[in-house]
Every structure is written in structure tokens, then in C-alpha cells.
């Protein structure tokens, strides 16, 4: 018996993970060869191109939100992991303490300095700076302009002779009572001045990050070396504060929800997800629509399912149980990327695409060599 091709409605239904009151259904992927008799689900690049799309919801330098539609969960998660662990940044790796008479121990101070995010020219980071290879004997002569960036922090707390004798604020009583990230000075060497100057200079993302508190007679004098690294080595090298995704929620109203029920239904969801509209004359005149005789009454409509948290609150009320279906679309991933400042948020994702492409080519090369 020849099999009929699936309808568009059936194809869309296959993409939905059902969210019920106490269970989750249709969690297994079915888009692979042999699952549906008579259907060819072998991967095809042209079919992928037709079904794939990108939608941006927010694109700011430090935060971006966008949707990838039409990809597999494994690929979506690969992008997330690469953004966290494989996109390179600069961070303080070595701290040379010449004098530290503050109350903060040397090790804690070095740790705090290492976690400060810095900005810097992208061209200098990706094209000029190379990976630092630590020599076996620890010889500092291996530090060159193309693999090491030097910083300095030299601050001493002193009395402010012009302060009011009755002043209680230590920041007014003393000079450098608080040591901030803005007190760190970049010391370019060699060709670094060509890549890290002007808007591209290496400086803390937030100049007001508090490093330590000092009192008269205390000082901090340290030199620091920054190296290029990735988040898989240490979290301080990760270019993102957050890189996460969630699956697109779906809300289907199967029967009309009217009047006070509509207002109650709206309150079951986060603000903006469900809207209220008046039943039009055309809807009230349409037989079988469920709106007959309700012209002018409020009805519930889905406005922004993307903002839903899938709390299932609506399913806990008997009056809504058979009137709404909740789910998630398995091939629609909503990303949130928050940059620490060295990369723009959208550039981090584009860089992750390049990294995944390079990994795929490396795997292909290994497979070819293995067959040979």
C-alpha cells in the first residue's frame, strides 16, 4: 500500500513537545530515516536551507537575544558550549606582587585581578596575539609582544590634607581609600600600540570594579601579565556571563475563552503573553466558531508565546483544561547571550559558528586520513 505524504498540519504537529498537567509527551526525535514508513528523512542541505532561519529579538553590545529555527538540539547545544568554552579572550594570568600591605592576601588579590574583564581591539586579539606557551623552566624571557600584555597597578593610600576634620567618609578623608579597576594601567610593548590604542585600548570593561580598600600607609604595587585563553581552561577566559537557550513555547487555544474567563486566563501567564480582544461581528456570525451571540465580548488570544515560562498554571483550572494545549517546538531555540565586554554579544555567536565549522573540517580530515 502506498503511503500518503503527510499534511502540513501533521508535519507541524511532529515538531511539538506536549506539555500536560503532570507529563511531557513526544520528547523523542522522529526526523530520522526509517521512522515513518514511505518517507525519506535523510539529511539534505537544500531541505535544511529551506527550513532554517534566524530571528533577532534584541541586539545590544553586551546582550543579544535571537532564535535559531530549524536546527537539531545537538547543534544548538554545540553553539552554546563553544560560546562558553572555545571563543578566546584576554585575562590576567600572572601577577607579580612587589608590595602588598593591604588586608587582602596576595593569592586573593591575584584571584580578584584575574576575574576582571577587559576590553581590547578584536583585530589585535584574533590576528596579532598568539597563544602563550609556558616554557618548562619558567623563563620570563618568553614573554613577547605577540603573546603577553603587561599591566600595572601601583596605588598608595595617603591622608587628604584638604579634608574636613569632621569628615567620616574614608574616600574623602584619604586619597586612594578604594582601589578600582580604573587604577590598572596598560603598558604596551612592541607592536601592541598599533593594535591596542584609541577605542581599542586594553582597559577594564567596568572601571568601577572594587579591587581593595586601603588606609594610610597601605599600598598595592603589582605587575600583571595577560594571556590569550579559552573558557575550557578557566572561567575567567569565557567571553560570556551567560550563554543559554530555551525551546520556543507554544500555546494553542482550542475552544473560545470569553468574558471573565478570558481575564482569568490572561492572569495565568506572564504579562504580554495573552491579550484580550473583542469578538467581531464577523466572528459572531460564523457558524461553529463558538463566538455566536458573543459579539463585543472579550476573548483571549495568544500575543507573545516567546515570553511564556510554561508554568502550566492554566492547566490547573478546570474551566481551561480542554480549551488550551501547551507545548514546546523542538526545533526553535531562543538564545540569550550576555557578553562580558571583550566581544560584542552577536559577534560571539558568529565566532562560535566559525569554530564549529573548523571542528567539522578537522573531523572530516581525520576521517579521510583514517580511510586512507
Cell of residue 110, nine digits = 591575584
From edge to edge, which strands make up the β-sheet containing 185-187?
Answer: 89-100, 219-229, 149-156, 185-187
- The domain limits of the chain are 89-237, 255-322
pLDDT value at position 2?
Answer: 57
pLDDT, residue 311, reads: 92
Q: Which of 65, 36, 72, 66 is nearest to 51 (CA)?
A: 72
Identify the CATH number of the domain defined by range 89-237.
2.170.120.12
pTM, two decimals, is 0.87
What pLDDT shows up at residue 8? 85
Angle, helices 73-85 vs 345-371, to 10°: value is: 110
Per-residue pLDDT tens listing for the chain (372 residues): 456 788 888 888 888 999 999 999 988 888 778 888 888 888 889 988 998 999 999 999 999 999 999 999 999 999 999 999 999 999 999 999 999 999 999 999 999 999 999 999 889 998 999 998 877 766 655 788 898 999 999 999 999 998 888 888 999 999 999 999 999 999 999 999 999 999 999 999 999 999 999 999 999 999 999 999 999 999 999 999 999 999 999 999 999 999 999 999 999 999 999 999 999 999 888 888 888 888 899 999 999 999 999 999 999 999 998 899 999 999 999 999 999 999 999 999 999 999 999 999 999 999 999 988
**Which residues, listed in sequence order, are joined to residue 277 by a DSSP beta bridge?**
299
CB atoms within 10 A of CB 11: 11
- Main-chain dihedrals φ then ψ at residue 331, nearest 5 degrees: -115, 20
- For residues 139, 144, 147, 152, the Cα torsion angle rounded to the nearest 10 degrees is 90
Query: Cell 498537567 maps to which residue?
Result: 21
* C-alpha to C-alpha distance for 338 and 346, rounded to whole angstroms: 9
CB 115 within 8 A of CB 236: yes
Yes or no: domain 255-322 corresponds to CATH 3.30.1360.10: yes
Query: pLDDT at position 236, please?
Result: 95
The 3 state secondary structure assigned to the chain is CCCCCCCHHHHHHHCEEEECCCCEECCCCCCCCCCCCCCCCCCCHHHHHHHCEEEEEEECCCEEEEEEECCCHHHHHHHHHHHHHCCCEEEEEEEEEEEECCCCCHHHHHHHHHCCCEECCHHHHHHHCCCCCCCCCCCHHHCCCCCCEEEEEEEECEECCCCCCCCCCHHHHEECCEEEHHHCEEECCCCHHHHCCHHHCCEECCCCCEEEECCCCCEEEEEEEEEEECCCCCHHHCCEEEEEEEEEEEEEECCCCEHHHHHHHHHCCCCCCEEEEECCHHHHHCCCCCCCCCCCCEEEEECCHHHCCCCCHHHHCHHHCCCEEEEEEEEEEEEEEEECCCCCHHHHHHHHHHHHHHHHHHHHHHHHHHHC
Contact predicate 69/55, CB 8 Å: yes
Amino acid at each position: 500500500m502506498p503511503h500518503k505524504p503527510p499534511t502540513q498540519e501533521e508535519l507541524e504537529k511532529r515538531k511539538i513537545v506536549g506539555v500536560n498537567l503532570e507529563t511531557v509527551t513526544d520528547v523523542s526525535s522522529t526526523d530520522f530515516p526509517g521512522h515513518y514508513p514511505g518517507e525519506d528523512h535523510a539529511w539534505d542541505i537544500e531541505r535544511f536551507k529551506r527550513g532554517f532561519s534566524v530571528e533577532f529579538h534584541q541586539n545590544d553590545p553586551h546582550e543579544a537575544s535571537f532564535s535559531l529555527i530549524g536546527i537539531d538540539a545537538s547543534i544548538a547545544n554545540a553553539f552554546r558550549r563553544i560560546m562558553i568554552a572555545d571563543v578566546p579572550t584576554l585575562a590576567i594570568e600572572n601577577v607579580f606582587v612587589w608590595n602588598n600591605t593591604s588586608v587582602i592576601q596576595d593569592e586573593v588579590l591575584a584571584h580578584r585581578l584575574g576575574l576582571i574583564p577587559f576590553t581590547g581591539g578584536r583585530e589585535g586579539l584574533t590576528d596579532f596575539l598568539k597563544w602563550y606557551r609556558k616554557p618548562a623552566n619558567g623563563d620570563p624571557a618568553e614573554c613577547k609582544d605577540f603573546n603577553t600584555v603587561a599591566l600595572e597597578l601601583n596605588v598608595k593610600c595617603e591622608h587628604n590634607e584638604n579634608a574636613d576634620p569632621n569628615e567620616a567618609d574614608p574616600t574623602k578623608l584619604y586619597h586612594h581609600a578604594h582601589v578600582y579597576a580604573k587604577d590598572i594601567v596598560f603598558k604596551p610593548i612592541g607592536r601592541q600600540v598599533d593594535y591596542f590604542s584609541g577605542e581599542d585600548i586594553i582597559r577594564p570593561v567596568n572601571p568601577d570594579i572594587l579591587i581593595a580598600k586601603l588606609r594610610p600607609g597601605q599600598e598595592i604595587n603589582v605587575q600583571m601579565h595577560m594571556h590569550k585563553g579559552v573558557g575550557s581552561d578557566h572561567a575567567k577566559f569565557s567571553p560570556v556571563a551567560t550563554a543559554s537557550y530555551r525551546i520556543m513555547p507554544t500555546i494553542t487555544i482550542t475552544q473560545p475563552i470569553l468574558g471573565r474567563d478570558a481575564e482569568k486566563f490572561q492572569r495565568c501567564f506572564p504579562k504580554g503573553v495573552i491579550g484580550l480582544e473583542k469578538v467581531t461581528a464577523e466572528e459572531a456570525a460564523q457558524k461553529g466558531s463558538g463566538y455566536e451571540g458573543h459579539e463585543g465580548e472579550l476573548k483571549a488570544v495568544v500575543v507573545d508565546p516567546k515570553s511564556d515560562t510554561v508554568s502550566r498554571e492554566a492547566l490547573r483550572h478546570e474551566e481551561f483544561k480542554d480549551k488550551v494545549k501547551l507545548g514546546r517546538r523542538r526545533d526553535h531555540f531562543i538564545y540569550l547571550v550576555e557578553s562580558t565586554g571583550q566581544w560584542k554579544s552577536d559577534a560571539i555567536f558568529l565566532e562560535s559558528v566559525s569554530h564549529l565549522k573548523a571542528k567539522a573540517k578537522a573531523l572530516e580530515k581525520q576521517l579521510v586520513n583514517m580511510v586512507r
